[in-house]
Structure 1
Amino acid sequence: MSSTDSSSERRVAVIIEDDADIRNLLETVLTQAGFETVATGNGLDGVQAVRAYNPLVTTLDVSLPGIDGFEAAKRIRAFSNTYLIMLTARNDEIDTLEGLQAGADDYLTKPFRPRELRARIEAMQRRPRAMAGDEPAAARIATVPDATPQAPAAAPATAVAQVVAADASGSATTAALAADGSALPAPHDTYSAEDGWIEYNGLYVNSDMRLAEKDGAVIELTRSEFDLLNALMSSQRRVRSKADLALLLRGESYVTAHFVSESDKRAIEVHMANLRRKLGDSLTAPRWIETVRGIGYRLAAAESD
């Protein structure tokens, strides 16, 4: 029993990187940050390691043999809420945007500074790891409590065998749960400010429960999407700049001394586009999210009774 308890408290990081030198660097940086590391050299082994070890943090290279980082991110997001940071060797905007759309929480361009990687990981950990009702599917499908992560090595053969079996019988069930919303909490009948709900034009958000609901249904949002929506709902008609929102996602809200790149701002645009799509909001006649050209975003005008 004690081994299971200690396993649940371990800070495990999975590294998915085919370049041995960078993989070793990542192991060093993450070990110094207090993580036990599991290193893999390709996308398939990396997905299996995430499923087996349920890591707190996963680093994922974009260019991998076999399935690339984008496909690996999508597969990981089907069952895991690990903090996912993507690494790309190219400073191409499309890599950043596609990575965020695939489910990454953050990204870094190679070569990166170890100090920046640690800062990004620390910022991600300041944000809640899971949305309400979002139990890691790894705990429901395949876990290896007594396995000891070590580097550089992929998941042990016994864990891989369990993962293969889970892929054959469990992944479809997990996807169905996510698709039909059965893993989400039931919508609320009443929404009161005393209970922490904010309402605007029929959209309800509760920051404590990390819930967003519309038309009697819970809206499935990523961490970043929820944080952005919550920021706009709290600010009402006050404009939030892209730089301000980028800092918010990094846990540095209103700290104007921090640098915000154009890629960071473009990442906010991607998150906002995904958020609009999930809300069913119109870009030309918005009900909730209004773009303030050249500056940022705010809530659209309140609907008249």
Structure 2
Amino acid sequence: MAERRAVVVEDDPSIAELVSEVLGRAGFAVTRVADGSQALAVIAETNPDLVTLDLSLPGMDGVEVCRRIRDTSDCYVVMLTARAQEIDVLIGLEVGADDYIAKPFSPRELTARVAALFRRPRGAPDQTRAASPASPAVIDGGAGLLVDRNAHLVTIDGDVVDLTRTEYDLLCHLATRSGTVVPRGELLREVWDTEFTGDSHVVDVHVANLRRKLRLHSTTSWIRTVRGVGFRFDGA
């Protein structure tokens, strides 16, 4: 197997060294850069498998860098933020990162989160999470909601609902468990493939985005919050 390549975009030398060391031990060939413009040039040249991206970069910030990466690359992007509260804002902005980690973080957490990403399918959304023989190819959520798992397509009364990969995965998991309360921890394991339950607020923000997008097409409330536990999909 070819060695995986990673680009660490971080202007704090101590954090850049820590991230580079962790990724190096995980088997990545690591390139370090300290600003967004340099990062885009290196990414275009090396076509990395992974980019870790600091939010607060000098000049072009991490949000803009991530959006530009997404114009040309399907590499995994992990965004590092100084405050956990920023994660909610970033998810709401849909900047295109695959995961978000608040500083300070442990080497063990970074290693686990990166490993979880590489257990998820990489590539265009319509190439991911096709229906398995044990699951329905088309989920009828009721009230006009259809999820075509082979085409990776969500429609309401024939109108296409534009979802991110994570929102789509959340909807699929909840809809296949229709009528059952799904704990946040289960969603973290199944959608994010991680056991780090301290990030459960990330689930809430993604669910809020998913609900908002569904409401653009219908007044039906498919996803219910079960206080203190998780969420329940009320379908057909």
Q: TM-score, normalised by structure 1?
A: 0.65
Q: Which residue identity lines up with residue 107 of structure 2 in the other structure?
A: P
Identity %: 41
> Which range moves more in the overlay, 23-32 or 222-231?
23-32
CA distance in 1, matches of 2:159, 2:48: 30
> Which residue number corresponds to residue 185 of structure 1?
none
CA RMSD, aligned part only? Answer: 2.8
- SS of equivalent residue, structure 1 residue 84: strand
1:125-160 C-alpha deviation (Å, 9 max, x unpaired): 1111234457xxxxxxxxxxxxxxxxxxxxxxxxxx
> Which residue number corresponds to residue 292 of structure 1?
226
Cα deviation for residue 228 of structure 1 reads 0.6
Q: Does 1:98 align with 2:89?
A: yes
1:209-265 C-alpha deviation (Å, 9 max, x unpaired): 54433443544432211211111111011111223212323315xxxxx4512xx22
> Which range moves more in the overlay, 29-38 or 112-121?
29-38
* Alignment equivalent of 2:109, drawn from 109, 113, 116: 116
Q: Does structure 2 conserve the Cα–Cα contact (< 8 Å) formed by 1:131 and 1:223? A: no
Q: Does structure 2 conserve the Cα–Cα contact (< 8 Å) formed by 1:15 and 1:39? A: yes
Q: Does 1:265 align with 2:200?
A: yes
Count of residue pairs the alignment pairs up: 227
Unaligned runs of 5+ in 1: 1-5, 135-192, 253-257
Greater length-normalized contact order (CA 8 Å, ≥ 6 residues apart):
1
Q: What does residue range 9-48 of structure 1 map to in structure 2 within 5 Å?
A: 9-48=2-41
Q: Does structure 2 conserve the Cα–Cα contact (< 8 Å) formed by 1:29 and 1:118? A: yes
Q: TM-score, normalised by structure 2?
A: 0.82
* Alignment equivalent of 2:173, drawn from 204, 207, 231: 231
Q: Which residue identity lines up with residue 226 of structure 2 in the other structure?
A: V
Q: What does residue range 158-177 of structure 1 map to in structure 2 within 5 Å?
A: none
> Which residue number corresponds to residue 157 of structure 1?
none
Q: Which residue identity lines up with residue 70 of structure 2 in the other structure?
A: R
CA distance in 1, matches of 2:168, 2:213: 11
Q: Does structure 2 conserve the Cα–Cα contact (< 8 Å) formed by 1:130 and 1:223? A: no
> Which residue number corresponds to residue 151 of structure 1?
none
Structure with more strand by fraction: 2
| Max Rg structure | 1
* Alignment equivalent of 1:107, drawn from 69, 90, 100: 100
